[in-house]
Every structure is written in structure tokens, then in C-alpha cells.
Amino acid sequence: MSFDRLQDKIDEMRNPSVCGLDPSLGHIPPDIVRKHIVARGETLASAADAYFDFNAGLIDALYDIVPAVKLQSAFYEALGPCGAVALKNTADYASGRGMYVILDAKRGDIGSTAEAYSEGYLGTFKIGATEFEPYNFDAMTVNAYLGSDGLVPFMETAKRRDKAIFVLAKTSNPSSGELQDIDIGGGRRVYTAVGDMACALSAGDTGRRGFERAGIVAGATYPGELAALRERLPHTFFLVPGYGAQGGGAQDAAAAFARGGAGAIVNSSRAIICAWKNTGAGGADYAEAARAEALRMREALRRAVY
Amino acid sequence: MSFDRLQDKIDEMRNPSVCGLDPSLGHIPPDIVRKHIVARGETLASAADAYFDFNAGLIDALYDIVPAVKLQSAFYEALGPCGAVALKNTADYASGRGMYVILDAKRGDIGSTAEAYSEGYLGTFKIGATEFEPYNFDAMTVNAYLGSDGLVPFMETAKRRDKAIFVLAKTSNPSSGELQDIDIGGGRRVYTAVGDMACALSAGDTGRRGFERAGIVAGATYPGELAALRERLPHTFFLVPGYGAQGGGAQDAAAAFARGGAGAIVNSSRAIICAWKNTGAGGADYAEAARAEALRMREALRRAVY
């Protein structure tokens, strides 16, 4: 099962962290951006080339110590169709290096539309007698606002292809409480209802390591809610944003882990990919700086979790 | 203001409807699919070419009687990067024909991520001294599950570029009530809270025709909720899915309109784009069949609304 592969990789590296590959021109060393502008001009294509170049360097620097990457789809979509190419190439490169690759797309739609999203990112597309994997992510994030018939098609594709999903429950941002924290009676809140929905959808679909196919997203910036969700959902895999630049620490994130320190993965994006901005080398050392920061995060999580 | 342009176009054509361009190989006449397979093989690229070809024919058949098209992003994303090209080409073609072009992407994210989505689909991307419009939609649908800081960046881009957004309030699918109908006290439900949020975000940003920059999505399949939302939000523009194939009729959709029959647009996808399946001509007449169906829908809406 998809989360078995992820948990095995985490255990092997003793590192429950995922690096967010969220590129923007401001995050990439200027020399890399310039090189691609020289090659293809000031175009969206050269920006996309710079994104992939930057990402590949990060993946090379991290793949033996970090089990997973998470690609935030928005930053790629912001480049138009060229960005979709960079998204796919980055995902394929990371998979080729053995990493578990998560698409952070927060998609949420219904029926045949949800099916199209899930087949595109986790599944296949068939034309004539030929079947393609348009993208080939291991897991993706989804939004449950449309209710369970927005999630079922993702679950079906995930099951068929041995992939997984993470349903947004309690997000890490300041205004996440506006809808998610609404008290719905019986000691439950909207985010609890979403967590329960993920759990119900997974019924009977549990891997060797004890986790269900539908995970949830729950932010390190709300450790109380994180702990409450963990207590309620002992067999759910947690994807935890909000660590580092957003203010959550290792102790906060530790609340997401199940007994024995399994069942969660903590994301950091900017702190790792922009670590080069703190070394004074102008970006020439971006890969080394990212690795050093990833090792610091690993140590902090090891102390807090294991 | 963006919704002024849309309302003017609706009035000019006396037709408050939008055609959903939601292609899939099963919706496209077999001869069109075959033509592109002959040209480029059984590839995702030929599927994308077939999508664009089909869409362009529909746009040519509809642009003088239907004011707007809505592109469901999922069906394009299902083709991988080739699909992004078909999405962009379809949007540009419809814009070139003078149509108001809505992206149905239901994006929802925060901070710089929401900004990246909004700049990609409604705004611009700058590299060096050159600024691009990666896509150039007139409006897009967004998901409010992350709260207002997930919506503010979309609103800022929309304001800067004179675009608009539609926030998902009450969707048309069977399970939409699971989260959206939750009673939050004071006579409000989650979908009411989202409607209020859209309204609050638009404060002071109202066009000549009296509608605010943040519209909402509310389905024709729930006419009671639609009417309640309309009463509560007299200055909000409504995008109404669920007509036709999903079961909502013109009378149901009529509840979405403000006084004087303005402020709403009703979507139909399959009933129009697959109308050729009912004529027995095997798809050779798909454009004419779509036009005939769009005219039937126009008449039904005229009778119910004006």
C-alpha cells in the first residue's frame, strides 16, 4: 500500500520529513535564472527550465536523506502550459531518485470531474489501445468541501493504482479556523467531520504498517487540534505543513505522530529551498545549503518524535 | 468591472447561460478523434488536439448566442502538460470570439500559493523586464475551505486586472450538504457563512451593474438554498451549475436571479456538447446540434427568468 512504501522509507532514513519543492524566480539563485534566460530569452519556457534545473539540484542533494518531496502545483501552474511540463519533469526526476512524490493540488470536485483529476495525477488516460500516465504522483492532497462524492473518485483511482490521498482537515494558515473550527455539536468541529470522512472512506483499506489509504492534512501551527485529530484517528497518516517558516516547531509537529513515532510526515519548503540566502555565497551553494538545513530538520524531528 | 461586461453581454443576447466546455474522448464525435490519431498517433497530444478542435467548433457555433463558456480544468489536466496547452488555446479562442471565459478550477490555497494560482489564471508572470499572461481568464471558481486568507490573494489579482471570482457556496452534487449544510447557529449554515465571506471580501467593490467582484457558485439542484442565498446576497453574482444533465430545470435556476432578471448565469455542459448523440448523425452535426440545444436552453431560461 502506498503509505507502507512511505513509512518504510521514513523508517529507513529515520527522517519523517518532506521537502516542499515550491519554486519561484525569487527563490532560485540568480545565476540559474540568468543561464536559462540566456538560453531561451525572457520567456515562460526559460522560467520553467530554471524551475526544473533548481529542483533537480535539490533532489540530487536530498534524495538519500529525505524520503519525500511535495510539489505545490500552484507555482508550476503560474507559468502556464510550460509550468505543467516542469511539474511533470520534476515529479519524474524525484521518482527516478526513489523519492515518494506528493502533489499538493488541493483539488476538490465531483463525479466525472473528480475522476478526471484523479486519473490525471494518480491514474491513467487511455486513447485507442494505448494507456498513458499523464503524471504519476504517489499521493495528492484533496479538498472535501463538496462532500464525500468529491472524494470517492480519488479513492477509487488511488486504490486501483496503489496511490494515496491526503484530505485537508485543519490547515496551517491564520484564517483556517473560519470554516474549519466551526462547532458542529457533539464535541465535533468541521475539521473533525472531515477527518471522520477520510477515515470512513478508508474502511477496510489499511496497509501492512497500519495506516489507511486516505490521510489528512493538519498543520503544525495548531498543535492542540493536531493532537485531538491524532487521538481520534489513530490509523490515519498525517501530512503536516506549517513547520519552519510558518512558525511550527518540531515539538508542535510531534503531536501528529502515532504511537511509535509513525504515521506522519512534516513538510518544510522555504527553510530548505531558500537556505542558500543565509550563507552569503549568492546561491552557488544552494544544494549544500538545502542539505544542511534538511539535516538540521531531521535532527530536530528525531529528537522530538523518536 | 468584470461582471459588468458579463451582464452586458447577457443582456445583449438575452441569454443568461454559459456553456461548459468539458471535453472527454467519449464526448467528441469519433471522426474528430480519429483524425487526430491519424495525425499524431495514439498520444496525449492527439487527444489534446481533438479537445481543442471540438471546442473550437462549439465556440464557432455558439458565440453569437451564448455569452460565456466555462472550462472545467480537470478534463484538460487529465491529459498532462498537453492538456494545459488545450486549455489555454481554448480559452484564447473563446476570448477571441468575444466570449466571457470562466475557469472552473475550484482552487483553494493560501498566501503566496493562492497568489500564484491567481496570477497564473487571472494575472501575469514577470521574468526580467517581460510580463506574460500565462492564461487570461475573465473569472475563476475558488474554494473557501481555508478561510479568507485563501481568498484575499485571488481578490487582489482580480481587482488589479479587472477580473472576478466565484466562491463555491452550495454545490450541485448529492453530497454537497455533508459539510455545506451544517447548521452553525443563528439561522446560518456553512454555505451561508461562505456567501457572507464572499460578500465581505467585496465590500466597496461593486460594478456599474450593481454586482460585487466576488460571486458565488450555487447549484440549481437546491432551489430552496439558492433562493435563500439570493435573498441574503442581493448584490452577488451567481454561477449556477446543475442545470440539465444534473437534474435542475429553468424554474429551479430562476431562483438564482436578482430583481430584474440579472446577476446570475446558468451552466449546461453535457446537454449542449453531447447534443449530437441524440440526432443519429454520428457527430457530423455536433456543432449544429449544440447550437440547437443552446437555443432551447435560452428559450427555457427566457421564459423562466425575464
Question: How much is the pLDDT for A167?
Answer: 98
Query: Which positions in chain B touch A190 (Cβ < 8 Å)?
Result: 179, 182, 190
A254: left (phi over 0), alpha (psi -120 to 50) or beta: alpha
Q: CA separation (Å) from B145 to A150, A158, B118, B148, B239?
A: 14, 23, 16, 9, 18
**CA A46 – CA A191 distance, rounded (Å):** 41
Confirm whether A277 is a catalytic residue.
Answer: no
A259: left (phi over 0), alpha (psi -120 to 50) or beta: beta
**CA B88 – CA A55 distance, rounded (Å):** 25
| Among candidate residues B46, B58, B177, B161, the one with its CA nearest the CA of residue B115 | B161
Q: Please give the mean pLDDT across all residues of chain A.
A: 97
> Which residues are CB-neighbours of B194 under 8 A, at least 6 positions away?
A179, B144, B167, B168, B169, B180, B216
Q: Indicate which of B34, B75, B110, B180 best probes the interface with A, i.e. most A CBs within 10 Å of its own CB.
A: B110
Q: Is A247 on the interface with B (CB under 8 A)?
A: no
Are the CB atoms for A27 and A72 separated by under 8 Å? no
List B residues 31-50 in contact with A (Cβ-Cβ < 8 A): 33, 37, 42-44, 46-47
- Mind listing the pLDDT tens digit for each residue in A42-100? 999 999 999 999 999 999 999 999 999 999 999 999 999 999 999 999 999 999 999 99
Question: How much is the pLDDT for B245?
Answer: 77
- Per-10-residue mean pLDDT of chain B, 306 residues long, equals 98 98 98 98 98 98 98 98 98 98 97 96 97 98 96 98 98 96 92 97 95 98 97 98 89 95 97 97 98 98 96
Query: Which positions in chain A touch B113 (Cβ < 8 Å)?
Result: 22, 72, 74-75
Per the CB < 8 Å rule, is A175 touching B146? yes
Q: CA separation (Å) from B237 to A139, A229, A274, B200?
A: 36, 37, 41, 14
- In B, minimum Cα distance to A74 occurs at B117
List A residues 88-147 in contact with B (Cβ-Cβ < 8 A): 88, 106-114, 116-117, 119-121, 125, 127-130, 132, 134-135, 143-147
**CA A184 – CA A171 distance, rounded (Å):** 18
> Which residues are CB-neighbours of B185 under 8 A, at least 6 positions away?
none
Q: Is B30 on the interface with A (CB under 8 A)?
A: no
C-alpha B216 chain-centroid distance: 11
What is the mean pLDDT of the segment spanning A14-32? Answer: 98
> Which residues are CB-neighbours of A251 under 8 A, at least 6 positions away?
A223, A304
**Count of other CB atoms within 10 angstroms of residue B148:** 17
- Mind listing the pLDDT tens digit for each residue in A204-238? 899 999 999 999 999 999 999 999 999 999 999 99
Give the predicted TM-score (pTM) of the model.
0.98
In SS3 terms, chain B reads as CHHHHHHHHHHHHCCCEEEEECCCHHHCCHHHHHHHHHHHCCCHHHHHHHHHHHHHHHHHHHCCCCCEEEEEHHHHHCCCHHHHHHHHHHHHHHHHCCCEEEEEEEECCCHHHHHHHHHHHCCCEEECCEEECCCCCCEEEECCCCCHHHCHHHHHHHHHHCCEEEEEEECCCHHHHHHHCCEEECCEEHHHHHHHHHHHHCCCCECCCCCECEEEEECCCCHHHHHHHHHHCCCCCEEECCEHHHCECHHHHHCCCCHHHCCEEEEECHHHHCHHHHCCCCCCCHHHHHHHHHHHHHHHHHHHHC
Residue for grid cell 466597496? B204
Q: CA separation (Å) from A128 to B40, B50, B173, B282?
A: 12, 13, 31, 18
Pick A37's closest partner by Cβ from B24, B128, B148: B128
The interface predicted TM-score of the complex, written ipTM, equals 0.97
Q: CA separation (Å) from A298 to A16, A304, B33, B271?
A: 7, 10, 51, 54
Q: Is B85 on the interface with A (CB under 8 A)?
A: yes
Strand B125-127 to B130-132 pairing: antiparallel
Per the CB < 8 Å rule, is A173 touching B79? no
Tell whether the model's pLDDT for residue A20 goes beyond 90.
yes
**CA B213 – CA B201 distance, rounded (Å):** 9
**Count of other CB atoms within 10 angstroms of residue A210:** 17
| Among candidate residues A177, A226, A225, A169, the one with its CA nearest the CA of residue A199 | A169
Query: Which positions in chain A touch B111 (Cβ < 8 Å)?
Result: 173
Q: CA separation (Å) from B252 to B218, B240, B261?
A: 11, 10, 14
- Kindly state the cell numbers that stand for A246: 510558518
Per the CB < 8 Å rule, is B25 touching A127? yes
Query: Which positions in chain A touch B88 (Cβ < 8 Å)?
Result: 80-81
Query: Counting one residue from A and one from B, how many pairs have CB atoms under 8 Å apart?
Result: 224
Question: How much is the pLDDT for A87?
Answer: 98
- In A, minimum Cα distance to B34 occurs at A128
- Kindly state the cell numbers that stand for B90: 481554448
**CA A165 – CA A216 distance, rounded (Å):** 8
Fold adopted by A2-305:
TIM Barrel (3.20.20)
A295 burial type by CB count under 10 A (0-12 exposed, 13-18 middle, 19+ buried): middle
Question: How much is the pLDDT for A245?
Answer: 77
Tell whether the model's pLDDT for residue A280 goes beyond 90.
yes
Q: Is B197 on the interface with A (CB under 8 A)?
A: yes
Tell whether the model's pLDDT for residue A153 goes beyond 90.
yes
Tell whether the model's pLDDT for residue A40 goes beyond 80.
yes
Q: Which 8-state DSSP code applies to residue A28?
A: S
Q: Which 8-state DSSP code applies to residue A26?
A: G
Q: Is A75 on the interface with B (CB under 8 A)?
A: yes
CA dihedral B64, B66, B68, B71 (to 10 degrees): -110
| Among candidate residues B184, B208, B178, B210, the one with its CA nearest the CA of residue B197 | B184
Per the CB < 8 Å rule, is A74 touching B116? yes
Question: How much is the pLDDT for A185?
Answer: 87
Hey, which residues does A167 pair with through a beta bridge?
Answer: A142, A216
Question: How much is the pLDDT for B76?
Answer: 98
> Which residues are CB-neighbours of A34 under 8 A, at least 6 positions away?
none
